[in-house]
Amino acid sequence: MTDAARMHEITDETRAIVDIVLDYSRTRLLAEDTPLDKPLTPDELVQAAGRTIDEQGIGARQAISVFEHVLAPACITTDSPQYLSFIPSAPSKAAAAFDLVVSASSLYGGSWLEGAGAVHAENEVLRWLAAEFGLPEGAGGVFVQGGTLGNLSALVAAREAARSRALRQAQGPATPDRWRVVCSAEAHSSIASAARVMDVEIVAVPTGDDGMLRPEAVRAALDEHGDSVFAVVATAGSTNFGIVDDIAGIAEVTRDRGVWLHIDGAYGLAAMLSPRTRHLFAGVEHADSLIVDPHKWLFAPFDACALIYRDPERGRAAHTQHAEYLDTLTETADWSPSDYAVQLTRRARGLPIWFSLATYGAAVYREAITAAVDLATRIADEIERRPGLTLVRRPQLGVVVFERDGWSKADYDRWSTGLLDRQHAFVVPSSHRGRPNARFAILNPRTTFEHLTAILDTMQ
């Protein structure tokens, strides 16, 4: 065996490496008391980890030891029940375990030719989601990296559709001097990021005190900007508050005006699975495109965003890449996932959620989401009962935002740092309209009312 083949041949060394990795993975997957952990400084990591990459290598056993004892503890455990910041991740054990299978199988998920079985399984999940959201039978799409790439890909397809329509109907200038997308002033930052990448203008529409984007405001924006608006983005569960826009009303406006409606449901759209909150999402069935992130409330591992088009051909028209070496793929009618987003090479990242859904069934997902919504309501009630605490808004989904009366940003920062230093919880401060606050993002089925009240107790 040559040195060049050493990394790929099946040898005693290879078997030992696989055993080491699988042993660690099994221990981590089945651990019941994984600490929250916390970051270290760059200097601390350099000192603790030492030099790990050189010409000869340090060996798998030493490498896994550095990871287990130095690197992993410097990463906050996102699937901890006391991780309550940003939007947590809580992959099911089946999904997390199957992620190993995806890597071990050396699957390519970009084309039907190379990954038909994987694409079939992913498409089954996408069809199930589309049906849950009320989209027609032909709806479909692709799993991409995350909500930012999903929103960008959908908006690129929307602009391409508007540009094609303008060219067909041209009587004078075929396209506006500046394309625009209308969204709420509380829309996720990824919408503004997509606009910068696309070199289009954001029309950020103010919301009322309830944080909802409403049809009257959208209609006014369309009146002002006319045919330069190629898409309206409605939010199905804002990141900061979990607020769902008036999607049904907005959909009526976009249908009347012939404007593409995109739903950013990265965090909250999964709550349509719960009978407790399904009514909040009326109108989603009219979307031209939507996203939802399985690595959030659908209990898949990082990273996965489901991008679904009402008419997938509009996504394909915008995103199919053409080159001589790709003719074998693009000259067929096969469903190749890379045709539906800003990507070519892709991992079959929808397989972990497929395996988990196939293993457990959809009913347990509905129960887990409902439990998080109920817990958010219960802790909101508790906050309203406690002197010195003020609930900023009643939660619609699983995000609870509140203030400690009299606290400054520095007070919240000290409190948050102390929680993590004591390994009590990970709750970073947030803010709204210039006022600092605290925020619980409740998603993990293992988070309890007692966890949350114990955190509130530290704010005295």
CATH code (residue 450): 3.90.1150.10
In this structure, are 400 and 333 located in the same domain? no
Q: Is residue 278 part of a domain?
A: yes
In this structure, are 215 and 132 located in the same domain? yes
Q: Which residue type does 171 have?
A: Q
In this structure, are 55 and 112 located in the same domain? no
φ and ψ at residue 89, rounded to 5 degrees: -120, 135
Q: Is residue 94 part of a domain?
A: no
Q: Which residue type does 134 have?
A: G
Quote the pLDDT of residue 367. 98
Q: What is the 3-state secondary structure (H, E, C) of 253-276?
A: HHHHHCCEEEEECCCCHHHHHCCC
Domain stop point among 360, 393, 423: 360
| Ramachandran region, residue 376 (left: φ > 0; alpha: ψ -120 to 50; beta: rest) | alpha
Hey, what's the torsion of the CAs at 110, 113, 115, 117, to 10 degrees? 130
Domain carrying residue 407: 363-457
Q: Is residue 80 part of a domain?
A: no
Give the domain CATH number at 296: 3.40.640.10
Quote the pLDDT of residue 332. 87
Domain stop point among 360, 395, 422: 360
Per-residue pLDDT of the chain (460 residues; tens, 9 = 90+): 678 899 999 999 999 999 999 999 999 999 998 999 999 999 999 999 999 999 999 999 999 999 999 999 999 999 999 999 999 999 999 999 999 999 999 999 999 999 999 999 999 999 999 999 999 999 999 999 999 999 999 999 999 999 999 888 865 556 798 999 999 999 999 999 999 999 999 999 999 899 999 999 999 999 999 999 999 999 999 999 999 999 999 999 999 999 999 999 999 999 999 999 999 999 999 999 999 999 999 999 999 999 999 999 999 999 999 888 787 878 888 999 999 999 999 999 999 999 999 999 999 999 999 999 999 999 999 999 999 999 999 999 999 999 999 999 999 999 999 999 999 999 999 999 999 999 999 999 999 999 999 999 999 8
Tokens of 277: 């909150």
Domain stop point among 360, 377, 401: 360
- Is 133 in contact with 269 (CB distance < 8 Å)? yes
In this structure, are 242 and 294 located in the same domain? yes
| Ramachandran region, residue 406 (left: φ > 0; alpha: ψ -120 to 50; beta: rest) | left
In this structure, are 162 and 238 located in the same domain? yes
In this structure, are 352 and 385 located in the same domain? no
Quote the pLDDT of residue 424. 97
Q: How far apart are the first and last CA of the chain?
A: 67
In this structure, are 164 and 147 located in the same domain? yes
Q: Is residue 352 part of a domain?
A: yes
Q: Is residue 95 part of a domain?
A: no
Q: Is residue 215 part of a domain?
A: yes
In this structure, are 152 and 289 located in the same domain? yes
Q: Is residue 89 part of a domain?
A: no
Number of domains in the chain: 3
In this structure, are 139 and 250 located in the same domain? yes
DSSP string for residues in 373-423:
HHHHHHHHHHHHHSTTEEESS--SSSEEEEEETT--HHHHHHHHHHHHHTT
Q: Is residue 87 part of a domain?
A: no
In this structure, are 189 and 325 located in the same domain? yes
Q: In what order do the strands lie in the sheet with 435-441?
A: 389-391, 399-404, 435-441, 430-432
User: What is this structure's pTM?
Assistant: 0.96
In this structure, are 331 and 350 located in the same domain? yes
In this structure, are 273 and 371 located in the same domain? no
φ and ψ at residue 291, rounded to 5 degrees: -130, 155
Q: Which residue type does 190 have?
A: S
